């Protein structure tokens, strides 16, 4: 170990990746670093394992996935403790995260056959003599690259759906959370001991890059927008399809008829849970003028009560030490440009912790409004009406989630948000609803995990037509006659020529 090691920052010792607690520096585990050849070897093994796994069929895979879910549920305290030790996440937050992941495994396992299995598709008059068949076949091997902030929820959101669809998975966890990644894979191997259907490869960004170039059938990436662009560029070389779940700067809108207590509670939780290190965390709030002062007062009262520290606190440490500088820069910049800290402020930054900070009247062009902060800070700005709120919420290139509090117009406003998801009168709830797709637009990425779309993301649509009768009007054949063509012209005009 080096003397200058910052707690939480991963280090390399004797060729192993050593993961440490951001709060105490205690070691959480050490793991072999994968070289490019190791990544390729893992993908080769996965290819064979994937064939075996696909051969189990939907029922066989459902059974194994449900057994994995059962093991994770029975050992929930152990996993939550590991997440707490390695990433600093409060145990309560870890438990909620695992619960959400369990629900996704359960739903994906139960619904894969219905959504992806072979089915007849109706044909139309134009090809009435044929039947249509559709199914979603696995890609073979899916590479999953995950971030550190939700080390169970995010990889499982891709991996469980990819596995249910019949793929093998090679998973590259963040260098900040390799122990949790390894634990998930080890538990899977207990219920699927026959083949390495779900493997992990450890290392830094280069290992993720190697996975993109390893010949996997698809890459499912969750992480920052900057890395998402590098992943897509690497995948472009071989036309490997990608699913990108990238960063966000989600907004909450508080309308005049909102329940302000509920809005403040959801705002504080949605913005500060996991110390604000949440892709779908509320980072900006636009409150309509009439309710602004009362809302801010409630937010400050609730956020000011939160405890910060290592064990048993509401907010844990900032997991990635370098993020502290980003949070500090955003707070300082907001204040330099005329914003006010009504809670916390520059002095709230006490590495490895940041205390809750609420900034108001922050210029829209400041870093705290424009960039992902990823800390326990909230920017609350005053707007004239909900139209201005929507305009400001939609002004950034990100478009992940969002939240709206209000009664009469809330759903309509949620629909106007340029984002992949929104919650009305709550925050972040769409993440736990397994039946709803999860994902963003613009700089927040594309593709979907969760729900039916999340299953289809991990299967190639395979379309098959089958003749069931002779064609009365030969069209797709050199046997057709000029008279047949004349009839086709007539039919085309009859069927499609009406209207303007
Ligand atoms: P990063 O983009 O830094 O890293 C994500 C993963 O990509 C890590 O495993 C990382 O490895 C790996 N990686 C780094 N460079 C490359 C590369 N060139 N090619 C392939 N893989 C690479 O994100 P963070 O881990 O810091 O996570 C935080 C970000 O994730 C935030 O922006 C957050 O909004 C976003 N996020 C998005 C979610 C969503 O669903 N939309 C959910 C959760 C988080 P290593 O760590 O070893 O460098």
Number of domains in the chain: 2
DSSP 151-218: TTHHHHHHHHHHHHTT-EEEEE--TT-HHHHHHHHHHHHHH--SS--EEE-B-SHHHHHHHHTTT-SE
Residue closest to 302 by CA, chosen among 343, 265, 262, 263: 265
How many helices (H) and strands (E) are present in the chain, helices listed first?
Answer: 16, 21
- Asked if residue 214 has its Cβ within 6 Å of ligand 1, the reply is no
Q: Could you tell me if residue 481 is inside a domain? A: no
Question: How many Å lie between the centroid of ligand 1 and the Cα of residue 245?
Answer: 9
Question: How many Å lie between the centroid of ligand 1 and the Cα of residue 428?
Answer: 20
Atom number, ligand 1, closest to the C-alpha of residue 150: 43
User: Rounded CA gap, 399 and 250, in Å?
Assistant: 7
* pTM exceeds 0.85, yes or no: yes
> How are strands ordered across the β-sheet holding 377-383?
340-343, 357-360, 377-383, 282-288, 250-254, 402-405, 423-424
Per-residue pLDDT reduced to its tens digit, 403-422: 999 999 999 999 999 999 99
Atom number, ligand 1, closest to the C-alpha of residue 211: 20
What is the percent of the chain with per-residue pLDDT over 90, rounded to a whole number? 95
Rounded mean pLDDT, 197-211: 97
pLDDT at 77 over 90: yes
Q: Let me know if 245 is a catalytic residue.
A: yes
Question: How many Å lie between the centroid of ligand 1 and the Cα of residue 323?
Answer: 13
Q: Are residues 48 and 156 in the same domain?
A: yes
Q: Whose CA is nearest to atom 15 of ligand 1?
A: 205
Q: Could you tell me if residue 3 is inside a domain? A: no
- Asked if residue 212 has its Cβ within 6 Å of ligand 1, the reply is yes
What is the percent of the chain with per-residue pLDDT over 70, rounded to a whole number? 99
Q: Whose CA is nearest to atom 43 of ligand 1?
A: 279
Domain of residue 66 covers 11-247+451-459
Choosing from 103, 235, 279, 372, the catalytic residue is: 279
Question: How many Å lie between the centroid of ligand 1 and the Cα of residue 146?
Answer: 6
- Asked if residue 230 has its Cβ within 6 Å of ligand 1, the reply is yes
Question: How many Å lie between the centroid of ligand 1 and the Cα of residue 235?
Answer: 16
Question: Which pLDDT belongs to residue 4?
Answer: 62
Q: Whose CA is nearest to atom 19 of ligand 1?
A: 209
Residue closest to 152 by CA, chosen among 177, 176, 116: 177
Question: How many Å lie between the centroid of ligand 1 and the Cα of residue 85?
Answer: 20
Say which range, 15-29, 71-85, 182-196, has the weakest mean pLDDT.
15-29
Pocket-testing residue among 223, 237, 244, 322, ligand 1, by greatest number of atoms within 8 A of Cβ: 223
Per-residue pLDDT reduced to its tens digit, 329-367: 999 999 999 999 999 999 999 999 999 999 999 999 999
Q: Are residues 301 and 338 in the same domain?
A: yes
DSSP 64-87: HHHHHHHHHHHTHHHHHHHHHHHH
- Asked if residue 248 has its Cβ within 6 Å of ligand 1, the reply is yes
Per-residue pLDDT reduced to its tens digit, 290-337: 999 999 999 999 999 999 998 889 999 999 999 999 999 999 999 999
Q: Are residues 146 and 267 in the same domain?
A: no
Q: Could you tell me if residue 476 is inside a domain? A: no
Q: What is the CATH number of the domain that holds 193?
A: 3.40.605.10
Residue 243 φ/ψ, nearest 5 degrees: -120, 125
Q: Could you tell me if residue 490 is inside a domain? A: no
Question: Looking at 258-376, which runs of residues are DSSP E strands?
Answer: 282-288, 340-343, 349-350, 353-354, 357-360
Q: Are residues 264 and 379 in the same domain?
A: yes
Mean pLDDT of all residues belonging to the chain:
96
Atom number, ligand 1, closest to the C-alpha of residue 204: 47
Pocket-testing residue among 87, 153, 161, 227, ligand 1, by greatest number of atoms within 8 A of Cβ: 227
User: Rounded CA gap, 294 and 271, in Å?
Assistant: 18
Question: How many Å lie between the centroid of ligand 1 and the Cα of residue 155?
Answer: 11
- Asked if residue 113 has its Cβ within 6 Å of ligand 1, the reply is no
Helices of type H across 417-471: 451-456
Q: Are residues 183 and 303 in the same domain?
A: no
Atom number, ligand 1, closest to the C-alpha of residue 400: 41
Q: What is the CATH number of the domain that holds 349?
A: 3.40.309.10
Q: Could you tell me if residue 483 is inside a domain? A: no
Cα separation values, 322 from 125, 150, 373, Å: 62, 18, 12
Rounded mean pLDDT, 269-273: 98
Choosing from 175, 245, 372, 443, the catalytic residue is: 245
Q: Are residues 225 and 274 in the same domain?
A: no
pLDDT band at 2 (very low <50, low <70, confident <90, very high): very low
Per-residue pLDDT reduced to its tens digit, 385-405: 999 999 999 999 999 999 999
Q: Are residues 222 and 290 in the same domain?
A: no
Q: Are residues 288 and 183 in the same domain?
A: no
Q: Whose CA is nearest to atom 5 of ligand 1?
A: 223
Number of CB atoms found within 10 A of residue 281's CB: 29
DSSP 104-120: HHHHHHHHHHHHHS-EE
- Cβ-based neighbours of 478, under 8 Å, separated by 6 or more: none
Residue 194 φ/ψ, nearest 5 degrees: -70, -40
Helices of type H across 279-436: 289-304, 323-336, 367-370, 386-393, 410-416
User: Rounded CA gap, 187 and 72, in Å?
Assistant: 7
Rounded mean pLDDT, 242-268: 98
Q: Torsion-angle region of residue 374: left (phi > 0), alpha (psi -120 to 50) or beta?
A: left
Q: What is the Cβ-side half-sphere exposure of residue 70, based on CA atoms within 13 angstroms?
A: 8
Q: Whose CA is nearest to atom 48 of ligand 1?
A: 205
Using the Cα atoms of residue 276, residue 277, residue 280 and residue 284 in order, give the sign of their dihedral: positive
pLDDT at 1 over 50: no
Q: Which two tokens stand for residue 340?
A: 């006010």
* 3-state SS assignment for residue 430: helix
Question: How many Å lie between the centroid of ligand 1 and the Cα of residue 298?
Answer: 34
Q: Are residues 160 and 32 in the same domain?
A: yes
Q: Are residues 261 and 153 in the same domain?
A: no
Q: Indicate the burial class of 123 (C-beta count within 10 angstroms; 0-12, 13-18, 19 or more).
A: middle
Q: Could you tell me if residue 361 is inside a domain? A: yes
Rounded mean pLDDT, 131-157: 98
pLDDT at 62 over 60: yes
Q: Could you tell me if residue 409 is inside a domain? A: yes
- Asked if residue 425 has its Cβ within 6 Å of ligand 1, the reply is no
Rounded mean pLDDT, 102-118: 98
- Asked if residue 150 has its Cβ within 6 Å of ligand 1, the reply is yes
Q: Are residues 217 and 300 in the same domain?
A: no
Cα separation values, 390 from 40, 109, 167, 252, 463, Å: 46, 38, 40, 10, 41
Cα separation values, 469 from 14, 219, 268, 473, 485, Å: 69, 42, 64, 12, 20
- Could you say which DSSP state residue 457 is in? T
Q: Could you tell me if residue 487 is inside a domain? A: no
Q: Are residues 98 and 208 in the same domain?
A: yes
Per-residue pLDDT reduced to its tens digit, 449-471: 999 999 999 999 999 999 999 99
Q: Are 145 and 220 in contact (CB under 8 A)?
A: yes
Q: Whose CA is nearest to atom 41 of ligand 1?
A: 245
- Calculate the CA 277 to chain-centre distance: 13
User: Rounded CA gap, 347 and 68, in Å?
Assistant: 45
User: Rounded CA gap, 116 and 57, in Å?
Assistant: 11
């Amino acid at each position: 170990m080096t003397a200058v090691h910052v707690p939480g920052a991963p280090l390399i010792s004797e060729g192993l990746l050593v993961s440490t607690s951001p709060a105490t520096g205690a070691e959480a585990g050490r793991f072999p670093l994968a070289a490019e050849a190791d990544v390729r070897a893992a993908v080769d093994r996965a290819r064979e394992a994937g064939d075996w796994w696909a051969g189990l069929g939907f029922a066989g895979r459902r059974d194994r996935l449900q057994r994995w879910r059962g093991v994770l549920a029975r050992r929930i305290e152990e996993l939550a403790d590991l997440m707490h030790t390695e990433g600093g996440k409060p145990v309560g937050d870890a438990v909620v995260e695992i619960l959400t992941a369990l629900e996704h495994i359960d739903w994906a396992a139960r619904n894969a056959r219905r959504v992806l299995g072979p089915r007849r598709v109706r044909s139309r008059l134009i090809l009435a003599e044929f039947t249509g068949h559709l199914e979603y076949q696995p890609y073979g091997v899916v590479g999953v690259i995950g971030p550190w902030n939700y080390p169970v929820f995010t990889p499982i959101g891709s991996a469980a759906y990819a596995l249910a669809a019949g793929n093998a998975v090679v998973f590259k966890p963040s260098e900040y959370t390799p122990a949790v990644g390894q634990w998930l894979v080890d538990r899977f191997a207990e219920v699927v001991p026959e083949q390495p259907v779900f493997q992990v490869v450890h290392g830094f960004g280069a290992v993720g890059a190697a996975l993109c170039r390893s010949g996997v059938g698809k890459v499912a990436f969750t992480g920052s927008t900057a890395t998402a662009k590098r992943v897509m560029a690497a995948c472009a070389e071989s036309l490997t399809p990608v699913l990108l779940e990238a960063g966000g700067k989600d907004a909450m809108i508080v309308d005049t008829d909102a329940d302000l207590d509920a809005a403040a509670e959801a705002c504080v939780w949605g913005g500060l849970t996991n110390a604000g290190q949440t892709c779908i965390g509320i980072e900006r709030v636009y409150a309509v003028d009439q309710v602004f002062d009362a809302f801010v007062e409630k937010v400050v009262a609730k956020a000011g009560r939160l405890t910060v520290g290592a064990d048993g606190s509401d907010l844990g440490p900032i997991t990635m030490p370098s993020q502290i500088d980003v949070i500090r820069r955003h707070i300082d910049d907001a204040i330099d440009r005329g914003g006010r800290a009504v809670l916390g402020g520059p002095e709230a930054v006490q590495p490895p912790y940041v205390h809750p900070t609420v900034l108001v009247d922050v210029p829209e062009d400041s870093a705290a409004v424009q960039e992902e902060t990823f800390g326990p800070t909230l920017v609350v700005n005053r707007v004239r009406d909900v139209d201005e709120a929507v305009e400001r919420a939609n002004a950034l290139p990100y478009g992940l989630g969002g939240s709206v509090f209000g009664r009469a117009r809330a759903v309509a406003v949620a629909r106007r948000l340029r984002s992949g998801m929104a919650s009305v009168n709550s925050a972040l709830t769409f993440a736990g609803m397994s039946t709803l797709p999860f994902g963003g637009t613009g700089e927040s990425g594309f593709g979907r995990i969760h729900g039916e779309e999340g299953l289809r993301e991990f299967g190639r649509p395979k379309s098959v037509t089958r003749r069931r009768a002779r064609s009365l009007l030969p069209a797709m054949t050199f046997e057709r006659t000029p008279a047949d063509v004349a009839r086709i012209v007539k039919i085309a005009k009859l069927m499609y020529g009406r209207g303007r």
